[in-house]
Every structure is written in C-alpha cells, then in structure tokens.
Amino acid sequence: MIGQGAQPTPGQGSAYDDDARLTSDREVVARAWALLSPYHSRLWISLALMLLASAATLLQPRIIQFSIDRGILQGKLGELNLWALAYVATLAITWGATYLQTWVLSWVGQRILYTLRTDMFAHLQKLSLRYYDRERIGHIISRNTSDVSAVNEVLTQGLLQSVADVFMLLGTIALMFSMSVRLTLVTMVVLPIMYGLARWFASGSRPAYRRIRQTVSAVNANLAENIVGMKLIQAFRREGRNFDEFDDINRENVRAQKDAIFFHAGVIPILDLIDAGATGLLLYVGGNWILGESSPDLTIGILTAFMLYSSRFFEPMRDLAARWDQVQAALAAGERIFHLLDLKPDVEDAPGAYEMPPITGHVQFDATTFGYNRDTAILRDVSLEANPGDRIALVGRTGAGKSTIIRLLMRFYDVQGGRVLIDGHDVRGVTQRSLRRQMGLVLQEPFLFAGTIRENIAFGRPEMLDTPEGSKAIRDAAEVVGLREFIEALPGSWDATVEERGGNLSGGQRQLISLARAFLASPRILILDEATSSVDTETEASIQAALDRVLAGRTAFIIAHRLSTIKRATRILVIDGGTIVEQGTHEELLAMEGYYFRLYTLGFASSADEPEEVNVGGS
C-alpha cells in the first residue's frame, strides 16, 4: 500500500529526530518574542494596566502605616476615615486594572494560539511523505496542542506578569529604603540564601522539563496508536499486553513529572520559610529598637508597614520561582515547535518549476533508482513505459517495490537516479500541485473524513459542492460505481453523516465512496492500490464494469490483489528485488512459465468463474 511501503531502517539517523534541539535558549526566546510583534500596542496597554495595579498594591502598606501613626495613635478619627477611603480606592484600582489587563492578555493569547497552530498545520501540509512515514502521530499532535499552549502561556501571562513582579520587587525595595534604611538592610540579609536557591533550581529544572515534554509526547503517540488499532488489539486479545506497554510509558512520564516536582516543591516552601524568618527577624529587631528608643524615627506604623512590605518583597520572588517552571516547560516546548517549523520538505518545487499542462497520460520510468535510505536501494535501474489507456498491473511479493513505483510517479519522493516522465515532462520540473491534480488515487484502506457523503465524494473537487452542475457530477460519479441507490436510500441521502474514518459505513461502502471520489476528480492517470480487496465478489464485478468505462483513454497503475483485476490489465509488470523481472499479458506470462507462473500456480490459480487472491502486499 502507498502508506505502508518499505520503511527506513529502525535506528537510522533522521532529519526528523524528535530530540533535535535549537542552538541555544536565546534562539528560542528570540523566535518566540517575534510572535508578539503584531500585538505590541495591546501588550503595552496590558503592561501599563498591570503596573497600575502593582502601584496601587504597593501603596497599601504605606496607607496602613499612616492610618496607625496619624489616625489611631493620634486619636484622629477623621484622618483615619480618609486613609480608609484611600485604601478602598487602591483596592478598586487594583481590581479594575487587573480585570482589563486580563481581558487584553487573553485576547492576545488566543491570537498567538491561533497563529502558532495554523502556521504549524500549514507547515505540516508541506512536509513530504517521508516525515509521516517516520514520525508518530501522537508526537505531531503534542506539538500542536500541549507544546503550543506551554509557549503561549509564557508569552502572554508569564512574560508581562514577570515584568510586573520585577516592578513590584523594585518598588517594594525603594519604599522600604525610603522608610528605614536599617530595617531594609535587616531584610536583605536573606538575599544570599535566595541567590543560591535560584542557582540550584535553574541547574536542575531545565533537563527535567525537557524530559517531561518528551514523555508527554510518547504517551500521546502510544495512546493515538492504540485508539486507531483498537479493533486489532481486541481481535488478538492484546488488551493486557498493550495496557502494560502503555503503563510503562505512562510511568516514565510520571517519573519525569516527579523529577520536576522535586525542584518545584522544594523552592516554594523554602521561600515561605525565608519569608517567615525575615518577618520574625524584623519583628524582633524592630521591636527592640522601638522599645529601646535607639531609632527615634521608627514607629509602630512603620514597623507594621515594613512587615507587610516584607511579605510583598517575597511574594514576587515566589511568583517568579513558580513561573520559572513555566519558562522551563516553554523553552523545552519551543525547541520542539521551532524544530518542526524548521524542517524542510524532502520534495519541493524546483526553482523555476512550471505548471504541468493537461496531459494524455504517457508515463515513462527511465533507468530509475531509489531507496528510502541511500545505502539500501528499493528500485534498481527500473525502466517502463505506459501509453494512454494502458492498464498496468504491478505484481510481486511484499517489499518488491510496487508501492514505491507509485510514490515516485506521484512524486511523494524524488528518484535518486534516472527520471520519471509524464508526457515528456520530468516530474521534478513541474509544480507538485499541477502534477497531482491530474492524478487519482484509491487506497486499499479508504480514508473518509467526518462530514457528509457528498463532501467526501467531492473531496478532490470541493468547488462542485456549490453549483447545481457540481451536484449532478457528484451523483453521476456515485452512479458510475453503483453507489447512488444506496446513498439515496439513507436518511439524509447525499447529506447523510459520515463519522470519523467512515466508522458508520462498511468497508465496501467506504471503498465505493473512495472510488467515486477518484472518478469525480477526472484524472488522466488513475492509481488503484489494491482498491477492490475490501469488497465482495458481487460488488467487485460492478466496480470492474465501472472501471472499464471510467478508465477508457486513461492510464491506470494497479497494484493488484485479485486475479480478476490482474487479468484485465493490458500489461502486467512482475517485480522482484527492485527490478522488473517479467512483463506481458496474463496469457503471455503464463506461457513463459517463469516467476509469474510460479505465483499463479502457488497463490492465485482459480477456475474461470471464481476469482481468488494473490499476495502482492505493500511496497
């Protein structure tokens, strides 16, 4: 099958290495910062609001000091009431500014989420088939979900809140010095301890958070694989074994989380302990100075404000320490996101590539050589020619190179030697879009998208959904494959719901819709990858009759699974070991009594009216 051909050797180095890293944290930060450039004005507004809220918060201990010294201790109720009103005003300012800045940041955050995810989706569509052959789907989903969210959280809330915390910290220090230099120096005694704590946390947390991103990705990959393959898992009674495998991967994620928690859980309690110790030290030293009258400028109000400022001094430090978790997670996620965005497709339009004109379907493989790994050739010096209207059947054992020929024809991969020509045009010299829009592909395992039957048939020609002529063409395509009566009998008819992957349809029905989709695209070259293997004999007969009508004048390449399909080919190519060892019609190949004859007698000899199967698996 196209999607299951020969794969790269396990362990082989890859451009898509999941653990690949950017050159430095600075590069990650610079590229993440660039995401904010369209929103600078809103970020400045949010920062101003955040600083306003911080300033109002900074004033509150000072107001309490004045309330005690100038109101309570002086017995002035009126002045006490004024300071109480001032305190309420700072609370109102803090609430209003915080509300507005949260709304602005939320708006910016959603825009960044949208931009990152759409950019990644657009880039994923450009990457070559080799990437999807090697990368697990769960890893890709993790990039576009949890990794993007981690980066967005730091770019919006985390970044500006860190600026506000620094402002709060510096403002607190300035106000403390303005009130009492001696008490401020007492508070600063704990700074060396905090510096050592920060160094310890930074040295251990980054590797821990990188490992978390990798293990989360592994969990998602394994979960996605098991969900997709659940039917097979249950059929082979593998529930217990697969559960154990998932449990091992999940436990590894838990261990990674615990390693990170070790650092995070230690920092905050230590900071709280330092905060409590500093407050106790202030109370002891300041109280003694007041009682001993060794510091005449120190009042009960100032000492009270100092103790409140001490808490505010440590609060932004706690926030910054907690936010360091987010920063480490975001840096690890940013590495993975930007690594993905930096990946270059293996197959790209060449400089000066031109639009392929309408073709007749003349195909040539000229001494073509190719391998998924350059040191292991799958095809060796393969030459073939197909004229318009030819039906070329590709026959051979699994791994012979059949699907590889199809991949090269559609330019999912580029040849490493020789050429692939269509109507004399080297496929590497034309745009991929103009090449593939003149081809149709029907896989052994048809893929349907969630939507309606009409939308799935028109998948390759979505413009036909909007016109009466297009609707008629959709109905005609369904009638060609014998599907129209079935569709019109469904509740909802052409707008009947198709569940994800066509889960509410039988395998044969999905295949017929897939065939109708290919027919509607009106390709000049049609590729059938074991397309009739999922239907019963009666349905196959109707499809074969439809193929006779649709393929007239068109080139067809058929990876055949059933003798009835092989016998209808104008030419059969027998592939073994990456080369074409025999070719001819069914009768000519049998008369040669060679490799095809052995396949026929061993695998798919049958009576004239009872088609049987030949094993011509993937690749």
Cα–Cα distance between 572 and 557 in angstroms, integer? Answer: 10
Cα–Cα distance between 223 and 482 in angstroms, integer? Answer: 38
Is 349 among the domain residues? no
Domain residues for the domain of 560 are: 1-15+357-438+523-619
- Checking if the pLDDT of 365 tops 50, the result is yes
- Checking if the pLDDT of 198 tops 90, the result is no
Q: Partners of 393 in the beta sheet?
A: 558, 572
Is 508 among the domain residues? yes
- Give how far Cα 306 sits from Cα of 54, 68, 291, 461, Å: 17, 13, 17, 72
Would you give the distance in Å from CA 471 to the centre of its chain? Answer: 34
Structure tokens at 477: 């395509």
- Checking if the pLDDT of 504 tops 80, the result is no
Order of strands, sheet of 579-584, starting from the edge strand that comes earlier in the sequence: 439-442, 525-529, 555-559, 391-395, 571-576, 579-584
Residue 154 exposure: Cα atoms within 13 Å on the Cβ side: 24
User: Whole-model pTM above 0.85?
Assistant: no
Q: Are 578 and 379 in contact (CB under 8 A)?
A: yes
**Residue ending a domain, choose from 312, 342, 372:** 342
Cα–Cα distance between 527 and 4 in angstroms, integer? Answer: 15
- Claim to verify: residue 476 and residue 598 sit in the same structural domain: no
Percent of the chain with pLDDT over 90: 5
End-to-end CA distance of the chain: 6
Is 348 among the domain residues? no
Give the length of the chain. 619
Strands 391-395 and 439-442 turn out to be unpaired
Residue by residue, DSSP assigns 312-334 as: HHHHHHHHHHHHHHHHHHHHHHH
Most confident of 88-97, 529-538, 570-579, 595-604: 88-97
Residue from 594, 569, 580, 564 nearest 404 by CA: 580
Question: Domain of 462: which CATH number?
Answer: 3.40.50.300
When comparing pLDDT for 190 and 132, which is higher?
A: 132
- Claim to verify: residue 44 and residue 185 sit in the same structural domain: yes
- Claim to verify: residue 176 and residue 29 sit in the same structural domain: yes
The vertex-176 CA angle with 174 and 179, nearest 5°, equals 110
Among the residue ranges 144-158, 167-181, 553-567, the one predicted with the least confidence is 144-158
Mean pLDDT of the 209-224 span: 77
Question: Domain of 63: which CATH number?
Answer: 1.20.1560.10
Mean pLDDT of the 193-203 span: 64
Q: Say which amino acid occupies 292.
A: G
Cα–Cα distance between 3 and 403 in angstroms, integer? Answer: 8
Q: Say which amino acid occupies 233.
A: I
Share the mean pLDDT of the chain. 78
- Claim to verify: residue 334 and residue 394 sit in the same structural domain: no
Q: Are 163 and 47 in contact (CB under 8 A)?
A: yes
Among the residue ranges 368-372, 405-409, 451-455, the one predicted with the least confidence is 451-455
- pLDDT per residue over 561-589, tens digit each? 677 778 888 899 988 888 888 888 888 88
- Checking if the pLDDT of 605 tops 60, the result is no
Cα–Cα distance between 19 and 336 in angstroms, integer? Answer: 8
Mean pLDDT of the 350-376 span: 88
Residue from 57, 153, 141, 60 nearest 105 by CA: 153
- Give how far Cα 393 sits from Cα of 396, 555, 582, 593, 594, Å: 10, 11, 12, 18, 17
3-state secondary structure of 438: coil
Q: Are 604 and 610 in contact (CB under 8 A)?
A: no
Residue from 458, 447, 585, 433 nearest 505 by CA: 447
Is 186 among the domain residues? yes
Among the residue ranges 116-130, 261-275, 420-434, the one predicted with the least confidence is 261-275
- Claim to verify: residue 214 and residue 287 sit in the same structural domain: yes
- Claim to verify: residue 290 and residue 400 sit in the same structural domain: no
The vertex-92 CA angle with 89 and 96, nearest 5°, equals 140
**Residue ending a domain, choose from 478, 497, 522:** 522
Which residues, at least 6 apart from 93, have a Cβ–Cβ distance to it below 8 Å? 52, 53, 56
- Checking if the pLDDT of 528 tops 60, the result is yes
**Residue ending a domain, choose from 490, 522, 554:** 522
Number of domains composing the chain? 3
- Claim to verify: residue 44 and residue 151 sit in the same structural domain: yes
Residue from 373, 344, 335 nearest 20 by CA: 335
When comparing pLDDT for 416 and 540, which is higher?
A: 416
- Checking if the pLDDT of 15 tops 80, the result is no
Is 475 among the domain residues? yes
Is 363 among the domain residues? yes
- Claim to verify: residue 72 and residue 126 sit in the same structural domain: yes
Is 412 among the domain residues? yes
**Helix, strand, coil tally for the chain in percent (to 5):** 65, 10, 25
Is 162 among the domain residues? yes
Would you give the distance in Å from CA 614 to the centre of its chain? Answer: 38
Categorize the per-residue pLDDT at 211 as very low, low, confident or very high, splitting at 50, 70 and 90: confident
